Amino acid sequence: MPKITKINHIAVAVSDIESSLIFWRDALGLELAELRDVPAESAQIAFLPVGGTEIELVRPTIDDSGLAKYIEKRGQGMHHLCLETDDIEGMMAQLKEKGVQLINESPRMGAEGKKYAFVHPKSTGGVLVELYQV
């Protein structure tokens, strides 16, 4: 039976990473571990490790991306919660069996061979949830 093993990251949608780092890095003292362009998601991501997980500042790189539309509609703030699972296909099947609406019908392949998929906020009480298998 698939299980959730940890919170992998919390993603915060931002319009400007440098301005956002004034709080996350400079005021809180979190270390900026990496700044990465992710063309497949039309985003730039700042990775800030904290307590065995990460805060990710996610900035859209094109004006008509889903993330850009999200910020335009809802403003900056928490974008999604990423839960790590030991079996993403099994977890997705389990969720489907329970009537949970998924955004992705099958996992997508991310950086370094990691699989991910999103659960629709309609099924989670309004929170966009990402499932992640390392």
What is the tens place of the pLDDT at every residue in 57-108? Answer: 999 999 999 999 999 999 999 999 999 999 999 999 999 999 999 999 999 9
Give the pLDDT confidence score for residue 134 in this predicted structure: 87
| Domains of the chain as residue ranges with CATH | 4-133 (3.10.180.10)
Over 90: is that where the pLDDT of 2 sits?
Answer: yes
Give the pLDDT confidence score for residue 113 in this predicted structure: 84
Contact between 42 and 65 under an 8 Å Cβ cutoff? The reply is: yes
pLDDT band at residue 14 under the 50/70/90 scheme: very high
Contacts of 124 (CB under 8 A, 6+ apart): 100
The label of the residue with tokens 């949830």 reads 129
Give the pLDDT confidence score for residue 12 in this predicted structure: 98
**Taking the model in full, what pTM does it have?**
0.92
Fill in the amino acid letter for 5. T
Measured between its terminal Cα atoms, the distance across the chain in Å is 17
For 115-126, what is each residue's pLDDT tens digit? Answer: 999 999 999 999
pLDDT band at residue 40 under the 50/70/90 scheme: confident
CA distance 105 to 77: 26
Contact between 13 and 76 under an 8 Å Cβ cutoff? The reply is: yes
Give the pLDDT confidence score for residue 3 in this predicted structure: 97
Strands in 34-38's sheet, in edge-to-edge order, are 34-38, 43-50, 53-60, 4-13, 77-85, 129-133, 115-119, 108-109
Give the pLDDT confidence score for residue 112 in this predicted structure: 77
DSSP β-bridge partners for residue 44: 37, 59
Give the pLDDT confidence score for residue 110 in this predicted structure: 83
